[in-house]
Structure 1
Amino acid sequence: MVQANARNRLDRLPIARFHKITILAVSFAYFFEFADINSFSATAPKLIKLWGVTVNQVAYVTSLSFVGMFFGSIVASTIADRWGRKNALMATTLWFGVFSLAATFSWDVVSIGVFRVLTSAGLSAMTVVAVIYVNELYPAASRGKYQAYAIVIGICGTPATNLIASLVIPINTWSWRLVYLWGALGVLLVFFTRQLKESPRWHESRGDHEQADAVLREIEEQVAAEKGPLPEPAPPVEEAPATKAPLKLLLRKKYLLPTLLLTVVWVTQTIGFFGFSSWAPTLLAKEGFSVEKSVFYVALTTVGAPLGSYLAALVTDRFERKWCLVAFGSVIALCGLLYGLTFTPILIVVFGFLVNLFERGYTALAYAYSPELFDTRGRSLGTGVSYGLGRLSNAAGPLIVAALYNGSGYRSVFFFIAGTWMVGAVVLAVFGARTRPARVMAPERKPAGA
């Protein structure tokens, strides 16, 4: 059956207002995902004082949150295939916003733990859907850059949350709740509903070629009205409609190998990043810094996050993404280790800044790299499962961090984090597939008169 030729028709489009509005909406969702993901780590030092929460209890809440992320990722892959990418993006963002709002009414560590698990499920689900949505709507030549641009804007949610937390938490005994209220503002994504289009590639994968063509025509008309006549797309390729993707699909070699690789990437990224970001305020406070100073220092380090995403935008479509990920992961390991070896405030901020800069660049690169390893049929399932397993792995991460800290001290935590990043870099270097198409060389010009 002849397809609607969605991929080729989208790939030949110039970037226009349609693309910019779409990336703004995705950036908005990312902003509040990143704003909300560190809410518990920002408020944990205050809860230790108010409720007598222990380091082990912080570890358990954080661990269970990653269990929630795993289930959220798996559910996301199902609803993105069943309901569509756009509807799934809206539903998952509303989910995490509602439960972040519920967390403002927590009364003890158990209640806040339950709300954080449910919020985290939505956060992870939204991320999986957003990564797939951008991958399927943007031209192949620039999708990596725009995925990174979305993270540039979205990642600002992290320093925004930390700065807000540093300002509101000290006010009184209940003001920490405002941090969760802030994270709940992601529900405002509903205002973008009418501006977004469903993925034509999703319609096409279901055999609904008429609907795919209708959406493509709408997009093409908008772009042509702004940019002028469009070039002809490459000829369509005949493919059978994709059937429902069962979990056992990932056992096939073409899906199993990228799924295993990406699982290692997301496991090491998750443990490495959250081992750092989730624990830095608490560990600094435990090492003698005041709660206010520990939160403030971490807030300063997260200013590097948007710059890292912008750096990724500059390199992602110029160099092979695999090698960019290897380089970024190695730098994170080094800077994270140096962070743990100093107690000088200015060096804490400098090395923490560099960790955040390169980590968010790494994340932006990985968001672009992951879905490229799958075809349309396996993209949602493969991305969701590998990302979900990465998040599930950190159910053990906080417990390992707590055990290392209690048993071997502050610095051992950062040796562990650095080692985790290096494992990911080495595996990518050895087994990672290349995804950037080779450059097409221009024909050699003949000398005049030849």
Structure 2
Amino acid sequence: MQHANAANRLDRLPISRFHKTTLLAVAFAYFFEFADINSFATTAPKLIDLWGVTVDQVAYVTSLSFVGMFLGSIAAGAVADRWGRKKTLLRTTLFFGFFSFVSVFSWDVFSLGVFRVLTSAGLSAMTVVAVIYVNEMYPAAVRGKYQAYAMVIGICGTPATNLVASLVVPLSDWSWRLVYLWGALGVLLVLFSKHLRESPRWHESRGDHAAADAVLREIEASVSAEKGPLAEPAAPVEEPPAVKAPLRLLLRKRYLAPTLLLTVLWVTQTIGFFGYSSFAPTLLAKEGFSVEKSVFYIALTTVGAPLGSFLASLVTDRFERKWCLVAFGTVIALCGLLYGLTFDPVLIVVFGFLVNLFERGYTALAYAYSPELFDTRSRSLGTGITYGIGRLSNAAGPLIIASLYNRTGYQSVFYFIAGVWMVGAVALAVFGPRTRPRRPAVRKPKAVTSAS
């Protein structure tokens, strides 16, 4: 076999049970990523009362968690290229689930901070691999939609965790630990392992066309048994096998512009969103709301998160993703600013709901947009580096927010967050390339399927 023609063979497949099962597995991983990622934010108000934790200590733990995310993202790109997308997805999920479980046994803010850094490394690594996996396994014309569908289900982990926290955190001086036990349930992704397939495009990028063809035949047999004869794929384009992508690859002219743009995208998204979500419960508690009310209000606002991902699924393959990101980012900036300018509980919930709705839609769009700016050879490296730098940037974000709050007050935090979102929106509007795929022409179906 000279060429497995993986991209074209996958692109002409109709959506089938295989795609839906893969979607469910990725969504499950996303669910517990989002369930776990804000665990510290939901327990921090209790730890302020119980351990005497300060706003500055909350900032340091949050900052170090993002250092962990950076390290996890960088490692994920390299490991996914070496081990494969499926195996890395499973192992990174087991990694973050294990350290979330260990967090249950924390004895002070330092030990909890260490465990959160390790958990965050696994969370970020898993996300990078999942984004790449969806990009490579779904037809180009609908991959944005299915990336968003996975987010619709996965993002429910955020309100679920906040609701769990609002119920268990106030129960006793130890019940906050149950929030971390809840996050550890992501390890159950192993139950999906036999239903997942390795990315044929990964095999092909390594020059192993026989392995790619074997996986493709298995997928095609499953789809054709359900959907009938398949269309002929477009002819393959010969490409040399990819070798390990060195870091300096991203400095080449064709990769430098998307690398810089996506770095801005993920830096502004990370500081803008996590500055809001990581500090909102603590800041509300500091402004006079009880721990129970602050956690409950945030739980109500995060109900908008899955609706935002669903909204993204409706627009991502219908309109140019670049302009969807610009529009969503602008709305987030406005709603986040209005959130910070009110102390009315109803308006806090309304504007917080809208921030969560459009931000999670923005993230779903960005998950589809980011890997499209790179080819197969550079996709893991480029996605991992840019996503990782975005996460690393928030090592400074919480410290900036804590400093703003301590020096100039509550509302200045939200002016800062709104400004960050607008920087990202303007950068995308001016420099963002278009990526909306055209539906590929397909040939007449043939009666019996065979490999290319």
- TM-score (norm. length: structure 2): 0.97
Q: Quote the residue 2:297 is aligned against.
A: 297
Alpha-carbon separation, structure 2, partners of 1:316 and 1:425: 16
Alpha-carbon separation, structure 2, partners of 1:422 and 1:113: 31
Q: Is the 8 A contact 1:56 1:399 kept in 2?
A: yes
Alpha-carbon separation, structure 2, partners of 1:40 and 1:2: 51
Q: Is the 8 A contact 1:41 1:278 kept in 2?
A: yes
Residues 1:13 and 1:439: Cα distance change in structure 2 (over 3 Å) = closer
Q: Please list the CA deviations of residues 387-419 of structure 1 after superposition, one character each: whole Å capped at 9, or x if unmatched.
A: 000000000000000000000000000000000
Matched, 1:343 2:364: no
Q: After superposition, where does 1:273-352 map in structure 2 within 5 Å?
A: 273-352=273-352
Alpha-carbon separation, structure 1, partners of 2:46 and 2:122: 25
Alpha-carbon separation, structure 1, partners of 2:43 and 2:146: 32
Q: After superposition, where does 1:35-434 map in structure 2 within 5 Å?
A: 35-434=35-434
Alpha-carbon separation, structure 2, partners of 1:188 and 1:440: 37
Q: Please list the CA deviations of residues 301-336 of structure 1 after superposition, one character each: whole Å capped at 9, or x if unmatched.
A: 000000000000000000000000000000000000
Q: Is the 8 A contact 1:69 1:122 kept in 2?
A: yes
SS of residue matched to 1:170? helix
Q: Please list the CA deviations of residues 158-204 of structure 1 after superposition, one character each: whole Å capped at 9, or x if unmatched.
A: 00000000000010000000000000000000001100000000000
Alpha-carbon separation, structure 2, partners of 1:433 and 1:253: 15
Which stretches of structure 1, 4 residues or longer, exceed 4 Å deviation after superposition? 438-441
The aligned amino acid for 1:257 is A
Alpha-carbon separation, structure 2, partners of 1:411 and 1:438: 45
Alpha-carbon separation, structure 2, partners of 1:107 and 1:228: 59
Q: Quote the residue 2:450 is aligned against.
A: none
The aligned amino acid for 2:101 is L
The aligned amino acid for 2:256 is L
Deviation at 1:3, TM superposition (A): 2.1
SS of residue matched to 2:33? helix
Alpha-carbon separation, structure 2, partners of 1:189 and 1:402: 36
The aligned amino acid for 2:154 is G
Deviation at 1:439, TM superposition (A): 7.0
Deviation at 1:440, TM superposition (A): 8.6
Alpha-carbon separation, structure 2, partners of 1:192 and 1:438: 32
Alpha-carbon separation, structure 2, partners of 1:244 and 1:9: 25
Alpha-carbon separation, structure 1, partners of 2:325 and 2:309: 13
Q: Quote the residue 2:437 is aligned against.
A: 437
SS of residue matched to 1:122? helix
Q: Is the 8 A contact 2:312 2:365 kept in 1?
A: yes
Alpha-carbon separation, structure 1, partners of 2:287 and 2:370: 38
Residues 1:191 and 1:105: Cα distance change in structure 2 (over 3 Å) = same
Alpha-carbon separation, structure 1, partners of 2:3 and 2:380: 20
Structure 1 portions without partners, runs of 5+: 442-450
Q: Is the 8 A contact 1:330 1:421 kept in 2?
A: yes
SS of residue matched to 1:374? coil
Deviation at 1:2, TM superposition (A): 3.8
Alpha-carbon separation, structure 2, partners of 1:70 and 1:78: 13
Structure 2 portions without partners, runs of 5+: 442-452
Deviation at 1:111, TM superposition (A): 0.1
The aligned amino acid for 1:111 is S
The aligned amino acid for 2:308 is G
Q: Is the 8 A contact 1:2 1:237 kept in 2?
A: no
The aligned amino acid for 2:21 is I
Q: Please list the CA deviations of residues 352-381 of structure 1 after superposition, one character each: whole Å capped at 9, or x if unmatched.
A: 000000000000000000000000000000
CA RMSD between the two structures? 1.0
Deviation at 1:438, TM superposition (A): 4.9
Of all paired residues, the percent bearing the same amino acid is 82
Q: Please list the CA deviations of residues 13-32 of structure 1 after superposition, one character each: whole Å capped at 9, or x if unmatched.
A: 00000000000000000000
The aligned amino acid for 2:342 is T
Alpha-carbon separation, structure 1, partners of 2:427 and 2:17: 39
SS of residue matched to 1:169? helix
Q: Is the 8 A contact 1:2 1:239 kept in 2?
A: no
Deviation at 1:256, TM superposition (A): 1.1
Q: Quote the residue 1:11 is aligned against.
A: 11
The aligned amino acid for 2:363 is T
The aligned amino acid for 1:216 is L
The aligned amino acid for 2:357 is L
SS of residue matched to 2:127? helix
SS of residue matched to 2:13? coil
Q: Is the 8 A contact 2:140 2:437 kept in 1?
A: no
Alpha-carbon separation, structure 2, partners of 1:371 and 1:409: 39
Q: Quote the residue 2:449 is aligned against.
A: none
